[in-house]
Amino acid sequence: MAYDTQPPASHFINGAYVEDKAGTAIDVIYPATGKVIATVYAATPAIIEQALDAAKSAQKNWAAMSGTERGRILRRAADMIRARNHDLSVLETWDTGKPYQETSVADATSGADALEYFGGMAATLTGDHIQLGENWVYTRREPLGLCVGIGAWNYPTQIACWKGAPALACGNAMVFKPSETTPLCALKVAEILHEAGLPAGLYNVIQGMGEVGGALVTDPRVDKVSLTGSVPTGRTVYAAAAAGIKHVTMELGGKSPMIVFEDADIENAVSGAILGNFYSSGQVCSNGTRVFVHTAIKDAFLARLSARLGNAVIGDPMDPRTSFGPMVSKRQMEVVLGYIEKGKAEGARLVTGGTAVEGAGYFLRPTVFADVTDDMTIAREEIFGPVMAVLDFEDEAEVMARANDTEFGLAAGVFTRDLTRAHRVAAAFEAGTCFINSYNDAPVEAPFGGMKASGVGRENAAAAIAHYSQLKSVFVRMDDLEAPF
């Protein structure tokens, strides 16, 4: 499939591509072959300065435009992204290795949803009027100013849009740093936003490793930091932002539970377990990687799961029939293989998978461990790969305590036909995003985010507006003002 993977330059600043080869070279590797498909250069201090300066200078005029005008540009960008879905999906596949079967329905389309949703909402962002007798207060919803977005490598287009759309709708400017592993897609998002009419300087993309993110987070001009990444990175970035009393959104990792009760529809539960463990080769933050299955249906569940995993089509991600792609990088493949070895060493029973696929690329087989216990490493740590841990349970109270016994709180799911139990369990989950008889749906209309160590703040839905704007109260006195002397 002919597609130019080498971007015109590494960075997109002030409405144009900008290059500075003095930065560290970053090779972009196609995970399906291990071959270099592009090279970009990490931002130098001069590039970081250019991006922050452009964003700072452009923001005030953008905020002064009406919400309708701002929203129109975002909605135009959404339409352009949908019209170019094929090319953008191919690029997402080059960047991440995720199969085209997925990227064509889950990445650019999800980014377009965010731009359309927040584009529509931009004109509705108003304050309140609070009557106090004759006097009154009104509130103004104002932008934060300059927002920094830092992305993980699993959903580069989606993350660039999920952060950019609400930030721009509220009248902010953004400097976005993608993961060094997947630097290509955010540049396209910036290009399209500007083609759609976004004034120069409002959405800038600069490349680099953690230290570029660090330089952005500590800059005094930056008002807000939105990070998608692991909990350890979240701790570092949150602490750095706190030193400057900056606003934060932290979308971090998870080790989410999925509970399958004895009355569940087994076929649906198996579908949920597949979607919640093997989509994007398991590289999804909200995955339900601790699958608690009632002992009464455990054998039937594992039998159907193994049979259906046999239908996974592993191979060339550009082939629309492929349903399971490689890991994003050699490093990530090795991390996951390390966890598989730990699972075996600690006594979990390997049901299927557990090995890499011979040949080029970073392919692993979908892996299921059964008889996993709560104390095993594979039941406690986020693996971020296609490794499902199946744990036994018999009693609702017992399984709820075990499900919540984790530092994480990103997502959780329950499969049951019992209506009251489903809602009771959803209420008891210590997790920000829960599913009943489903898993990993992420519509833009629903708030998404974590509890406990999995994060702070929410993305998507009206909830995101609170994290990209601030309220100003204006007291208006209509009567005379009295003073003590």
Determine, following the binding rule CB under 6 A, whether residue 251 of this chain makes contact with ligand NDP: yes
Determine, following the binding rule CB under 6 A, whether residue 410 of this chain makes contact with ligand NDP: yes
Determine, following the binding rule CB under 6 A, whether residue 233 of this chain makes contact with ligand NDP: yes
Looking up tokens 């499939």 gives 1
The closest residue (CB) to ligand NDP is 213
Helix-then-strand count for the chain, H and E? 16, 20
| Active-site entry in 56, 116, 147, 163 | 163
Pick between residue 182 and residue 271 the one whose CB is nearest to ligand NDP. Answer: 182
Least distance from C-beta 53 to ligand NDP, angstroms?
20
Question: Which of 78, 91, 125, 152 touches ligand NDP by CB under 6 A?
Answer: 152
Pick between residue 93 and residue 416 the one whose CB is nearest to ligand NDP. Answer: 93
- Using CB under 6 A as the binding criterion, the count of chain residues that bind ligand NDP stands at 30
Determine, following the binding rule CB under 6 A, whether residue 210 of this chain makes contact with ligand NDP: yes
Question: Which of 10, 59, 154, 469 touches ligand NDP by CB under 6 A?
Answer: 154
Question: Which of 161, 198, 237, 269 touches ligand NDP by CB under 6 A?
Answer: 237
Least distance from C-beta 37 to ligand NDP, angstroms?
17
Determine, following the binding rule CB under 6 A, whether residue 214 of this chain makes contact with ligand NDP: yes
Determine, following the binding rule CB under 6 A, whether residue 150 of this chain makes contact with ligand NDP: yes
Determine, following the binding rule CB under 6 A, whether residue 148 of this chain makes contact with ligand NDP: no
Least distance from C-beta 255 to ligand NDP, angstroms?
9
| Active-site entry in 285, 382, 396, 434 | 285
Three-state DSSP class for residue 370: strand
Nearest to 211 by CA among 385, 24, 428, 444: 24
Pick between residue 180 and residue 191 the one whose CB is nearest to ligand NDP. Answer: 180
Determine, following the binding rule CB under 6 A, whether residue 404 of this chain makes contact with ligand NDP: no
End-to-end CA distance of the chain: 81
Enumerate residues 6+ apart whose C-beta is below 8 A from 454: 231, 252, 253, 254, 285, 408, 409, 410, 431, 432
Determine, following the binding rule CB under 6 A, whether residue 180 of this chain makes contact with ligand NDP: yes
| Active-site entry in 92, 180, 191, 251 | 251
Distance CA 446, CA 443 (A): 6
Distance CA 410, CA 423 (A): 18
Give φ, ψ of 456 to 5 degrees.
-140, 130
Supply the DSSP symbol for 36: E
Question: Which of 455, 458, 467, 468 touches ligand NDP by CB under 6 A?
Answer: 455
Establish whether 69 is a catalytic residue: no
Distance CA 23, CA 43 (A): 6
Burial of 365 (0-12, 13-18, 19+ CB in 10 A): middle
Least distance from C-beta 246 to ligand NDP, angstroms?
13
CA 152 to mean position of chain CA atoms: 7
Angle at 280 between CA 410 and CA 342, to 5 degrees: 70
Question: Which of 7, 97, 151, 413 touches ligand NDP by CB under 6 A?
Answer: 151
Distance CA 376, CA 392 (A): 13
Determine, following the binding rule CB under 6 A, whether residue 230 of this chain makes contact with ligand NDP: yes
Give φ, ψ of 404 to 5 degrees.
-85, -5
Determine, following the binding rule CB under 6 A, whether residue 179 of this chain makes contact with ligand NDP: yes
Strand partners, 258: 291, 413
Pick between residue 237 and residue 340 the one whose CB is nearest to ligand NDP. Answer: 237
Distances (CA, A) of 258 to 31, 276, 387: 29, 9, 14
Pick between residue 222 and residue 340 the one whose CB is nearest to ligand NDP. Answer: 222
Determine, following the binding rule CB under 6 A, whether residue 111 of this chain makes contact with ligand NDP: no
CA 308 to mean position of chain CA atoms: 27
Pick between residue 104 and residue 440 the one whose CB is nearest to ligand NDP. Answer: 440
Q: Which two tokens stand for residue 263?
A: 């009355």
Cβ neighbours, 10 Å, residue 345: 10
Q: Which two tokens stand for residue 64?
A: 């002064």
Pick between residue 110 and residue 233 the one whose CB is nearest to ligand NDP. Answer: 233
Establish whether 251 is a catalytic residue: yes
Q: Considering only 31-39, 177-185, 353-361, 396-404, which stretch makes contact with ligand NDP by CB under 6 A?
A: 177-185
Least distance from C-beta 448 to ligand NDP, angstroms?
7
Determine, following the binding rule CB under 6 A, whether residue 384 of this chain makes contact with ligand NDP: yes
Pick between residue 217 and residue 465 the one whose CB is nearest to ligand NDP. Answer: 217
Pick between residue 48 and residue 150 the one whose CB is nearest to ligand NDP. Answer: 150
Nearest to 404 by CA among 445, 365, 444, 451: 451
What sign does the dihedral 318-319-324-326 (CA atoms) show? negative
Output Rg (C-alpha) for the chain, integer angstroms: 23
The binding site for ligand NDP (CB under 6 A) comprises: 150-154, 177, 179-180, 209-210, 213-214, 217, 227-230, 233, 236-237, 251-254, 285, 382, 384, 410, 450, 455
> Which residues are known to be catalytic?
163, 251, 285, 459
